[in-house]
A and B are shown apart, each in its own frame.
Chain A
C-alpha cells in the first residue's frame, strides 16, 4: 500500500542484509563497528567516539547454532543474536555492548566472549530501579565508566563538542522518526505499519548522518502527498518486547487494521525521548534514560506501565490492544496479567499472542491476528 519510493526500497535493502551496510561503512571510513543488543544503550557516546553503533536485531535462520551454548528455554532474541555471531554473520563487528536488562542479557556475554571474542566487549548496566536519587548518581557513574572505556579503546578522549554533535544528530533522527510515526498514524496509506517498523529497524544500522538525510528525503516525499483523509482502519496498539516477526504488521493491515502506537524496545521506546543539548551532557543522558517510558526491566511495584498503557491507548484512540509475548521473556511475562486486568477494566479489548525468533509458525500467528481484528471489526458494526 505504501509509496514505493527509492528511500523505502533502500530501507528494505538494509534490513534484508544489515551486514552489507556496516561493511560498506567500514571500507569507506576505516572505522570500527560496535554491535549492541537492543536497547537502552547510550548510542550517543559510541557515536561520539567515532564508532558505528550497530543494533543487532536477531535473525530467523540458523538458530540451532546456539543450541550447544544456550538452552532452548532461553530468550529466543538472545539465542538468535548469538547464533548470528556463531554463524559468521556478524564478522564485521569490532565490538559488542550488551545492556543488562534481564537474566539472559546479564549472562550471555561470557559465552559470547568464549566463542567469538572481540576487541571491545562491554556489559552496560543501567540501574534497575529508576526512582530513588541513588539511581541517577549511579547511572552517571556507569556512563562515565563506559565513556572512559570507549576512550581507551579509541585512544583518544571524547570531546564535549563531539558528544554534543552526536546528541544533536540523535535528537534530529528521533524527531524525524516520530514525525514519520505521526504521518503513519494519520494516514497509513502513506506509510504502512510494516514500512514504519522496518525503518526503525534500519535506523539502528545505517550510519546516523546518512540516516538523517534519508529520513528527511522520505518525509519530503510523504509531506508532499499529505494530508489525506483520516484513517478509517481498526486502530491497534501493540505492546511487549519486540515486533517480531515483522509479518505481524502485515497481518494487522490485511485484516483492515493499522498500528497506532506501541511501547516496544524496537519501537516507541527507542525513538522517543530527546536529550537536552545544553549543560552537563552526561547528566542529561542519565536523566534521559531514567525518564524513558515504563518498561518491565526498569519498573517498580506500582507498575506505572499499566496506567501508561491505558493512557496511551486512549490518547491514540486505539480500538484494540495486542500483547506480543516474546516467549521466555521473563520480565515481560511477570507484567502481563496485571496489564491485562487494568486494560479490561478500562474497557479495552486485549489479545495476547506468543511470538518467538526463529521457528514461528506464521500461519498460526496470522490466524490469531485475523481473529482478533475480526472481533474488533464486529464490535464496530454493532
Chain B
C-alpha cells in the first residue's frame, strides 16, 4: 500500500480474500452452517464445531474501502436506523434490505455468535440480523474489567463457552470435537506469532512495514485465524518483509518520525492518510488495533485459556488499562508522536480520547492530536478539518524531535 513498491504478497491476499468469500458461498450450498462471528470472539470454537465463520465486520470494512458506505447506509437509515449508529452495522442492515449489492451480498447466517467485548453495537446489529434472517443468536457476554483479571468474569465467560458448545452441538447434531479444537488453537497461535513478528519490524529505523501495510495485510489474522492458510500466509509475508529489510526497501522513502495511531483506519481514505503521513516523513508504526490479535493459547486447558485471553483483551478493559497499553506500545516502538482518531462509528474506542490525549501528553511530553471522522462514512469526513488538526501536529513533530 504505502510507498511505491507493492508487496508481492498483496496478490496472494486478493486470491485469499476471493477464495474465502467463495468458500463461504459454497459452504452454505453444501450444507456447512454459516456462523456470523465478531472480530474479537473465540472463533476457534466455531471451526472446531465444523462451521464456517463469516465476519460481517469485514463486510463493513469492504463496503467502506470501496467508498459505497453511504449507499447501503441510506437503506438502513430509511428504516430509522440513525446515522450515528456504527457504520458497519448500518451497512450490514442496509445490505439485508437492499435490492442492489455494490460489493456482493453479505453471506446469510445460519446462526450468529457475538462477543460483546468490542462494543454494544455488534450485539444489537446481530440481534437485528438474527430476526431478519431468522437464525438463532448467541451472545457471549463479557463484563468489562480493570487492571487485574477477575475470576468472576473469567468463570462467567468459561461457563458461557460451555453453553455455546451445547448450543452448537444442538445446531449441528454432532458432538464437539476437542481434538480439532487443539489443532485450531495451534494454527491460531502460529498465525498470531507470525503476525506479531511482522508487526514488530515496524520498530526498526527505518522500517520495512508500517500500520497502513498492516491494515492491508490483517484480513487473515482477523477472519482466518485458526486455519493453516492464515499461518502459511503470514509465513510468506514475513519472508517478504525480511527480504525487504535486506534490500533496504522501506515502508516510506524517507522515514524520520514514528507515529502511534488509534484505532481503526478510515478505510475509504487509507491511501490519502498513508500518503499524507509519508509526505511528512512520518511512518505510522503502531496501533492497538492491529496489535489486538496476539493470542497464545494454552492447548492443555483450551476453554480456560480462551476465556482468559478473550476477556482480557484491551477492548474489554477500563480507561486506565487502555492508557497503559498505548504507553507500552509507544515505548516499544519508540514513537515521536501520536494521532488518535475519534471514530464516531466506534464509540468505545473514541469515548475518552480527549482525556487520554492530555494524560499521555503530560506523561510523555510527546505531541499528540485527536481528530474527528468516521471509519466508513465519508459524510463525516472533512479534509480541511483534519488537516487543520494534523498540520500543526506535523509542525510540532519537527520541533520536538531531537535528532
Contacts and interface: CB of A to CB of B under 8 A. Distances in A.
Interface residues of A, number: 53
Most chain B CB atoms below 10 A, which of A69, A71, A100, A352: A71
A35 interface: no
Contacts of A213: none
A12 interface: no
B127 interface: yes
Interface stretch (A48-56, A126-134, A158-166, A179-187): A126-134
A123 B319 contact: no
B127 A127 contact: no
A73 B141 contact: no
B138 to A, nearest CB: 9
Nearest to B163: A132
Nearest to B348: A103
Interface string A295-318: 011011111000000000000000
Interface in B333-362: 342, 344, 347-348, 350-352, 354-355, 359
A111 interface: yes
A331 B351 contact: no
A217 interface: no
B355 A114 contact: yes
Interface stretch (A135-143, A233-241, A359-367): A135-143
A107 B119 CA distance: 10
A262 to B, nearest CB: 20
A104 B347 contact: yes
Most chain B CB atoms below 10 A, which of A68, A102, A110, A327: A110
Contacts of B58: none
A336 B80 contact: yes
Contacts of B89: 334
Interface in A144-185: 145
Contacts of A102: 120
B160 interface: yes
Interface of B: 79-82, 84-86, 89, 112, 116, 119-121, 123-131, 136-137, 139, 141, 143-144, 152, 155-156, 159-160, 163, 318-320, 322, 342, 344, 347-348, 350-352, 354-355, 359, 372
Given A109-B319, A128-B123, A134-B156, A352 B80 contact: yes
Given A301-B127, A334-B81, A134 B159 contact: yes
Contacts of B152: 138, 141-142, 145
Given A128-B123, A138-B143, A334-B81, A74 B351 contact: yes
B304 to A, nearest CB: 15
Given A71-B342, A138-B152, A300-B139, A103 B144 contact: no
A333 B81 contact: yes
Contacts of B86: 330
Interface of A: 68-71, 73-74, 100, 102-104, 106-111, 113-115, 123, 125, 127-129, 132-135, 137-138, 141-142, 145, 296-297, 299-303, 325, 327-328, 330-331, 333-338, 340, 352
Most chain B CB atoms below 10 A, which of A103, A123, A328, A338: A103
Contact of B143 (A100, A137, A297, A331): A100
Nearest to A68: B354
Contacts of B120: 102-103, 106, 297, 330-331
A137 B160 CA distance: 11
A336 B159 CA distance: 32
Nearest to A341: B79
Contacts of B129: 301
B124 A103 contact: no
Contacts of B126: 301
Contact of B160 (A74, A115, A132, A327): A132
B352 A107 contact: yes
Contacts of B348: 103, 106-107
Given A134-B163, A330-B124, A129 B347 contact: no
Nearest to B358: A114
A337 B143 contact: no
Given A68-B354, A107-B351, A128-B139, A334 B144 contact: no
Contact of A114 (B80, B319, B350): B319
Contact of A300 (B82, B127, B144): B127
Given A110-B355, A134-B160, A300-B127, 4 more contacts: A73-B84, A108-B351, A296-B124, A303-B131
Contacts of B127: 299-301, 303, 334
A337 B80 contact: yes
A154 to B, nearest CB: 21
Q: What 4 pairs across the A-B complex have the smallest Cβ distances?
A: A110-B319, A301-B130, A334-B124, A301-B137
Contacts of A106: 120, 144, 348
Nearest to B350: A71
A129 B121 CA distance: 15
A115 B358 CA distance: 12
A76 B131 CA distance: 29
A301 B143 contact: no
Contacts of A108: 351-352
A138 B141 CA distance: 10
A324 to B, nearest CB: 14
A111 to B, nearest CB: 5
Nearest to B133: A301
A241 to B, nearest CB: 14
A301 B84 contact: no
A69 B322 CA distance: 16
22 contacts: A69-B355, A74-B351, A100-B143, A104-B347, A104-B351, A106-B144, A110-B318, A110-B319, A110-B320, A111-B351, A134-B163, A141-B155, A296-B124, A297-B120, A300-B137, A301-B131, A301-B137, A327-B82, A330-B347, A334-B81, A335-B124, A337-B79
A353 B120 CA distance: 23
Contacts of A127: 141, 143, 156
A111 B319 contact: yes
Contacts of A335: 124
A123 B318 CA distance: 10
A142 B159 CA distance: 15
Most chain B CB atoms below 10 A, which of A133, A297, A327, A333: A333
B137 A334 contact: no
B214 to A, nearest CB: 25
Contacts of B372: 71
